[in-house]
Amino acid sequence: MVNFVHPPAESLQLHHVLSALADPVRLNIVQVLHATQGGLNCTAATAPFGQVPKSTLSHHFRVLRESGLVQTTKRGVENINTLRWDDLERRFPGLLSQILQLAPR
């Protein structure tokens, strides 16, 4: 059983969040998660990135998780990914919405 590591909200670092969002594929994953209510399992979340190798996507999800952007929760046999919107908003007010607004679509 995989144990996912999620940093507590109060320890999130601005440079980790910026670094996570500085990769176009990761920024795009965050856009997809933001546009989705209730979280996405890994397959659904990664469907738009079919051309990206699965191992690369796993790496991107790990970076997103470790920077505090994404929460991964085991639900049965699925891993459900959600944006940690409230935590990020509390720690870095306005940052994520600003970046999502400016991101290429």
* Three-state secondary-structure class, residue 76: coil
Using the minimum distance from each CB to a second copy, give the nearer residue, 25 or 44. Answer: 25
Q: Answer yes or no whether residue 24 interacts with a second copy by CB under 8 A.
A: yes
Q: How far is the CB of 91 from a second copy (least distance, A)?
A: 9
Q: How far is the CB of 17 from a second copy (least distance, A)?
A: 8
User: Whole-angstrom Cα distance, residue 101 to residue 57?
Assistant: 23
Using the minimum distance from each CB to a second copy, give the nearer residue, 42 or 99. Answer: 99
> What is the rounded (10 degree) CA torsion for 89, 94, 99, 101?
110
Q: Answer yes or no whether residue 56 interacts with a second copy by CB under 8 A.
A: no
Q: How far is the CB of 99 from a second copy (least distance, A)?
A: 7
> Which residues share a beta bridge with 82?
71
Write the DSSP assignment of 22-62 as a string of letters: TSHHHHHHHHHHHT-TT-EEHHHHHGGGTTS-HHHHHHHHH
Q: Answer yes or no whether residue 23 interacts with a second copy by CB under 8 A.
A: yes
Note the residues at the interface with a second copy (CB under 8 A). Answer: 14-16, 18-19, 21-24, 27, 92-95, 98-99, 102-104
